[in-house]
Chains A and B, each alone.
Chain A
Amino acid sequence: MSRERMSGETVGRSAAGPPLAEVQAHLYDLITAPEGAAKRLAELRRAPHDLEALVRSSGRLSAVERVDVYANMYFFRILEVLGDEFAKIVRLIGAEVFHNLITDYLLAHRPAHPSLREVGARLPAYLATHPLTEDRPWLSELARLDRLRFDLFDGPDAEALTLEAVRAMPPESLPELALRTVPCLATLATEFAIAPLWRALETPAASGHRAEVGGEGEPPPRSSGTFLVWRKDLTVFHRVLDADEIVCLPLLQAGTTFAAICDRALADAADSGVAARRAFELLARWIDDGALASAKTARPASRR
């Protein structure tokens, strides 16, 4: 059957082509194939010119090359987004290795969320299972910290508890002061002391510079700890928690009272005076951090 159709100008009433679902299935498969449309067609035991039954070829670009325009955009757009989000990992392993990591990652975890911001959500966990981290297990912890900071950057807003609000309370009601964390707060347990390396990698890299761990500081020593990661106003912070804070945090996240924090401090202290001082220190620190929600803020949902 002849058809009259030239470059979008004149369109004849052609014989029915493949159904839309079939078109999209075939193109999606080719576009997301890790090594391009021609190789994928070969895997499917199809010749490149078979694609011309679906996609028009022209003197400038073959059907395969036209599909590869989309294949390249699919991969490189995501690579760029993840390279920005996990810039420290790129600095440590180099752009080429990161490229290959993302190739593997996209095969294991195809993007499924409408927003590009979610495309890297599972990369830290994936990295932990990747051969790259066999001799550098702290890489995935570094990625988890940056992803957590990324998550909290645009999480729910909340008004923080202020020192002024606490000072305005009658002293006798202080034990019953309701304490709970702001919703944009989470903890991250790590097996390596990654904080110094994270700080070192915050400095901008020289152009084309690939950071060797030795150049950025020694590989992080194995030393378990817990990060507190939270957002105060519009800025995300993190710091390593003290041992007694690690115990208190679940109480604060569930919602507790200052009296309960004092009881918790008493369990570790030599006497009640020491415990009270420590409880007040902790309260002042959390308030200064902006980690506690004001009484007006609704009880937060658990984030993770």
Chain B
Amino acid sequence: MSTEFPALGHGIGLRPPHYAEVIEDHPPVDWFEVITENFMVAGGNPRHVLRKVRERYPVVLHGVSLSIGSVDPLDEKYLTGLVALADEIEPAWISDHLCWSSFGGHTGHDLWPLPFTEEALGHVVRRVQTVQERLRRRIIIENVSSYLEFGHSTLPEWEFLSEVARRADCGLLLDVNNVFVSAHNHGFEAARFLAGIPVERVKQIHLAGHRDEGTHLLDTHDHAVCDGVWDLYRAAVRRFGAVATIIERDDDIPPLSEVLAESRQAAAIEGEVLTALASSAEARSNVAGTHVG
């Protein structure tokens, strides 16, 4: 088992409506992912909650503002704050998105897609390496949902993502819902995406809900995980095995019990798939043994 990216099991994204219940009742969940920027503050309730949660659970810092693909310089103040937060919280790992979210010193507070070109690839790889040197650890990078593609892209997204991971030696956060949404929006086969991602690089999985806008799917995190995403998750488990997984919910947030139930559903699916794979492997082994015998 990797100590750098331990097998954390099944967790959920920690969100403000659940803070009190989590720190008072200590619900049975393996770990929490927190939005980094929400805790890059001096003190008060956010840091109080994070300290209390960290006392009992593994925590992963998941950022939305690294802007790893922006042509703007990396935000040194942001990185300094991230290093300080990581030193205090000792997260299991740190993640952010394969996107750009700032330009000209301004931020968009969104996850804007990159053209999948050699120029963008080299740019992102250099910046991931710089960030990893600053953080003194490898990070993991997440595929985003997208609503547009660039005409001059020369690589499919999965190749671009895989090359970032290989060249920068970082891990990947596979957002299964984002694969589902982008596959729908751009008309590619989600299975092709999964097949193109190197197994050993995937350190975490995200599951979430989205909204159907008619002309496109929107990654809203305001619904439960849909059947199509659960099916894709089954395929992901078949390919990547037992990977630390969380449920994300960011809008129309239901009671904690509902989010935890989805996390248990993910664990059950993972268990079923891995059991079936093991049975299948055993059967093949028996057949092979019979022939040999």
Contacts and interface: CB of A to CB of B under 8 A. Distances in A.
A17 interface: yes
Given A7-B186, A8-B149, A154 B46 contact: yes
Given A24-B71, A25-B104, A112-B107, A157 B148 contact: no
Interface stretch (A69-77, A96-104, A139-147, A207-215): A69-77
Interface stretch (B154-162, B163-171, B228-236, B263-271): B154-162
Interface in A43-64: 52-56, 58, 60-61, 63
Contacts of B115: 17, 20, 23
B147 A69 contact: yes
Interface residues of B, number: 56
B41 A154 contact: yes
B268 to A, nearest CB: 32
Interface stretch (B117-125, B133-141, B285-293): B117-125
Interface stretch (A26-34, A197-205, A218-226, A270-278): A26-34
Contacts of B123: 20
Interface string A1-42: 000011111111111111111011101100110000000000
A115 B103 contact: no
Interface residues of A, number: 60
B104 A154 contact: no
B108 A111 contact: yes
Contacts of B38: 115, 117
A93 interface: no
Given A113-B107, A114-B78, A234 B45 contact: yes
B106 A20 contact: no
B43 A17 contact: no
A179 interface: no
Instruction: Pick the most buried of A24, A60, A65, A77: most chain B CB atoms within 10 A of its CB.
Output: A24
Given A11-B155, A17-B115, A56-B148, A184 B44 contact: yes
A153 interface: yes
A179 to B, nearest CB: 21
B152 A66 contact: no
Given A8-B187, A17-B117, A184-B44, A63 B108 contact: no
B218 interface: yes
Given A14-B154, A20-B117, A31 B44 contact: no
Nearest to B158: A8
Nearest to B114: A20
B71 A111 contact: no
Contacts of B153: 5, 11, 14, 17
B34 interface: no
B47 A114 contact: no
Interface string B212-234: 00011010000000000000000
B37 interface: yes
B109 A74 contact: yes
Nearest to B218: A69
Contacts of B189: 9
A119 B101 CA distance: 14
A180 to B, nearest CB: 17
Nearest to B101: A114
A183 to B, nearest CB: 8
B108 A154 contact: no
B175 to A, nearest CB: 16
Interface in A208-245: 231, 234
B100 interface: yes
17 contacts: A8-B156, A9-B188, A11-B155, A11-B159, A12-B154, A19-B119, A20-B119, A27-B112, A28-B104, A58-B186, A69-B148, A115-B37, A153-B44, A154-B43, A156-B42, A156-B43, A157-B48
> 7 tightest A-B contacts by CB?
A17-B152, A114-B65, A157-B43, A7-B187, A154-B44, A154-B41, A66-B148
Given A14-B154, A15-B152, A112-B107, 4 more contacts: A8-B187, A53-B151, A55-B149, A234-B44
